[in-house]
């Protein structure tokens, strides 16, 4: 029996149970006859990142009661559709009356493993009020065994597609790459896909991660990137693998996007041999006049091209320095925030810290956007700080984040120490780094 069949059977049981129940306790007598409500969740096991379906049934006549959804800790609750079913009817002459069962489907998406409390859901219809019983769900972590590196946190089926905004661009112009995940796995896919293979392309692309685009119904998540080739040539944006967990079979599965070829065209340069001379040759002066004409035609083009290339180099330098300056300011702000405020749960802090580390690495260097491995973190932050101590600290932090996000343990130790280590690292990342002046033979230190 599939999960969908079990869910439908659960709703049938919900209808029967509601018709058999009496008035719920706790309704005030001066608000009129209380509404009758029941709530039921689909059968488990339930996992972090999964869209868990709930059914709330309310009896009424012609008008649907309004539900008040409670805020949840470490989870989101979404409306997933309504339906109505007649359960009784009677008539006197032409007057017909009857009772209807109003069913509301909800989805709860947990972000943390452990017990999940869902408080009572209140329904109102005019002066009539009713509420469900509070329920508790047990949320399991996705298993560590067999989990691939391409797992982004999604649970359930999905489709993945990659699209590019253009197939051919001039050198320096951007291509927008969009990786769209559609289906239930999109709700829990919090980690960005791995695009490290882009660094191997012959066009030497610069990659900038753009804001994600998320839609809850129908579920979709789009990871967008601005890719700017810096060398001319033909290249292929490689396939991107995305994995999710199937709660039915208890296994991981992977889907891969198609590759996307594109061409980076160099800025054309006017060749002198392409200029046709219309000057008729004359004895003693034809060659001189031709050279004068050629210089008059090609001179401004060559000068203009040289000026354009110099401006492009200056703009690229200013763009990199601007991104590094923004990264330093963000690092200082985050280091200050780590020293104060409430301490979040380990998994929530780990997701935030991993996002900060990958964003800083992408903004302050030419590393493509994407999740960091401990080894990559050590290499990237060694180049940014010039410090073996900070490099090792970054590697330890990424290892702790992986443990907190994907471990099957209900509690992960080391949260306080991880905050101290992160504050020290981002404080160092916020400092400007100055090397020897270039005219003395030095190289500017990474910022």
Within a domain: residue 300?
A: no
Predicted confidence (pLDDT) per residue in 300-326, tens digit: 666 667 666 766 666 655 666 777 787
- Structural domain boundaries enclosing 423: 319-440
Average the pLDDT over 88-94 and give the result: 52
245/149 Cα distance (integer angstroms): 12
Average the pLDDT over 425-439 and give the result: 68
Within a domain: residue 146?
A: yes
Mean pLDDT (the chain) is 79
The pLDDT assigned to 269 comes to 54
375/391 Cα distance (integer angstroms): 10
Same domain, 250 and 335: no
Same domain, 132 and 146: no
Same domain, 80 and 149: no
Same domain, 380 and 427: yes
The pLDDT assigned to 107 comes to 92
Same domain, 113 and 193: no
User: Tokens in use for 98?
Assistant: 């009857």
The total of structural domains in the chain comes to 3
What band does 290 get if pLDDT is binned at 50, 70 and 90? low
User: Tokens in use for 44?
Assistant: 């488990």
Indicate whether 446 pLDDT > 60: no
Indicate whether 447 pLDDT > 50: no
User: Tokens in use for 277?
Assistant: 């001379």
103/123 Cα distance (integer angstroms): 12
Crossing angle, helix 346-364 and helix 388-406, to 10 degrees?
A: 140
The pLDDT assigned to 23 comes to 42
* Diameter over CA atoms, the chain: 119
**Which region among 127-141, 227-241, 327-341, 381-395 has the lowest average model confidence (pLDDT)?**
327-341
The torsion angle over the Cα atoms of residues 205, 209, 214 and 218, rounded to 10 degrees, is: 10
Same domain, 336 and 426: yes
Predicted confidence (pLDDT) per residue in 52-66, tens digit: 999 999 887 778 888
What band does 179 get if pLDDT is binned at 50, 70 and 90? very high
The pLDDT assigned to 287 comes to 63
Indicate whether 161 pLDDT > 90: yes
Same domain, 88 and 35: yes
Within a domain: residue 382?
A: yes
Crossing angle, helix 374-385 and helix 346-364, to 10 degrees?
A: 50
Q: Between the ranges 215-224, 267-276, 431-440, where is the mean pLDDT highest?
A: 215-224
Average the pLDDT over 352-362 and give the result: 85
Within a domain: residue 31?
A: yes
Task: Look at residues 121, 140, 159 and tell me which one is the last residue of a structural domain.
Answer: 140
Task: Look at residues 268, 301, 332 and tell me which one is the last residue of a structural domain.
Answer: 268
Indicate whether 96 pLDDT > 80: no
The pLDDT assigned to 444 comes to 44
Within a domain: residue 275?
A: no
Same domain, 253 and 324: no
Within a domain: residue 16?
A: yes
Task: Look at residues 140, 172, 199 and tell me which one is the last residue of a structural domain.
Answer: 140
Residue 253 phi/psi, 5-degree rounding, is -140, 155
CB 26 within 8 A of CB 131: yes
Q: Which residue has the higher pLDDT, 422 or 283?
A: 422
Average the pLDDT over 30-35 and give the result: 67
Average the pLDDT over 85-102 and give the result: 64
Same domain, 158 and 252: yes
Q: Which residue has the higher pLDDT, 291 or 348?
A: 348
Within a domain: residue 253?
A: yes
Average the pLDDT over 165-182 and give the result: 89
The pLDDT assigned to 93 comes to 47
Written as one string, the DSSP assignment of 296-353 is HHHHHHHHHHHHHHHHHHHHHHHHHHHHHHHHHHHHHHHHHHHTSS----HHHHHHHH
Same domain, 123 and 183: no
Same domain, 102 and 177: no
84/97 Cα distance (integer angstroms): 15
The pLDDT assigned to 21 comes to 44
- Residue 231's domain is classified under what CATH number? 2.60.40
What band does 361 get if pLDDT is binned at 50, 70 and 90? confident
**Please, what is the end-to-end C-alpha distance for the chain in angstroms?**
58
CB 282 within 8 A of CB 185: no
Burial of residue 373 (CB within 10 Å: 0-12, 13-18, 19+) is middle
Same domain, 110 and 154: no
Q: Which residue has the higher pLDDT, 439 or 214?
A: 214
Within a domain: residue 129?
A: yes
The torsion angle over the Cα atoms of residues 118, 136, 114 and 152, rounded to 10 degrees, is: -60
Angle at 336 between CA 334 and CA 337, to 5 degrees: 65
- Residue 48's domain is classified under what CATH number? 2.60.40.10
């Amino acid at each position: 029996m599939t999960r969908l069949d079990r869910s439908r059977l659960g709703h049938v049981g919900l209808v029967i149970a509601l018709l058999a129940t009496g008035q719920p306790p706790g309704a005030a007598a001066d608000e009129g006859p209380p509404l009758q409500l029941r709530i039921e969740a689909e059968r488990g096991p339930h996992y972090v990142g999964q869209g868990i379906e709930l059914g709330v049934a309310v009896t009424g006549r012609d008008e649907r009661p309004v539900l008040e959804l409670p805020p949840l800790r470490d989870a989101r609750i979404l409306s997933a559709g309504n339906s109505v079913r007649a359960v009784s009817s009677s008539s006197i002459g032409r007057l017909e009356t009857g009772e209807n069962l109003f069913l509301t489907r909800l989805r709860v998406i947990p972000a943390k493993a452990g017990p999940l409390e869902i408080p009572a859901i209140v329904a109102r219809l005019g002066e009539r009020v009713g509420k469900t019983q509070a329920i508790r769900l047990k949320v399991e972590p996705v298993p560590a065994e067999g989990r691939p590196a391409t797992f982004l946190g999604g649970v359930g089926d999905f489709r993945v597609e990659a699209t590019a905004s253009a197939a051919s661009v001039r050198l320096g112009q951007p291509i927008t790459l969009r990786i769209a995940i559609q289906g239930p796995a999109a709700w829990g896919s919090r980690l960005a896909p791995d695009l490290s293979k882009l660094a191997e392309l012959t066009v030497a692309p610069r990659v900038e991660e753009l804001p994600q685009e998320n839609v809850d119904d129908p579920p979709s998540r789009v990871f967008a990137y601005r890719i700017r080739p810096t060398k001319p040539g033909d290249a292929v944006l490689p396939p991107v693998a995305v994995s999710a967990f199937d709660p039915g079979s208890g296994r991981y599965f992977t889907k891969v996007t198609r590759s996307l070829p594109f061409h980076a065209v160099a800025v054309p340069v006017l060749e002198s041999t392409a200029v046709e001379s219309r000057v008729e040759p004359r004895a003693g002066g034809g060659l001189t006049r031709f050279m004068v004409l050629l210089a008059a035609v090609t001179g401004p083009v060559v000068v203009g091209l040289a000026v354009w290339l110099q401006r492009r180099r200056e703009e690229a330098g200013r763009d990199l320095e601007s991104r590094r300056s923004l990264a330093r300011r963000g690092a200082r702000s985050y280091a200050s925030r780590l020293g104060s405020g409430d301490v979040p749960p380990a998994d929530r802090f780990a997701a935030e810290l991993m996002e900060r580390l990958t964003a800083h690495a992408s903004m302050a260097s030419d590393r493509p956007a994407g999740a960091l491995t401990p080894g990559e973190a050590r290499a990237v932050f060694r180049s940014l700080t010039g410090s073996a101590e900070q490099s090792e600290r970054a590697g330890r932090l990424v290892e702790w984040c992986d443990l907190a996000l994907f471990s099957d343990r209900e509690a992960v130790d080391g949260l306080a120490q991880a905050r101290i280590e992160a504050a020290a690292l981002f404080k160092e990342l916020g400092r400007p780094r100055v090397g020897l002046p270039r005219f003395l033979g030095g190289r500017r230190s990474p910022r």
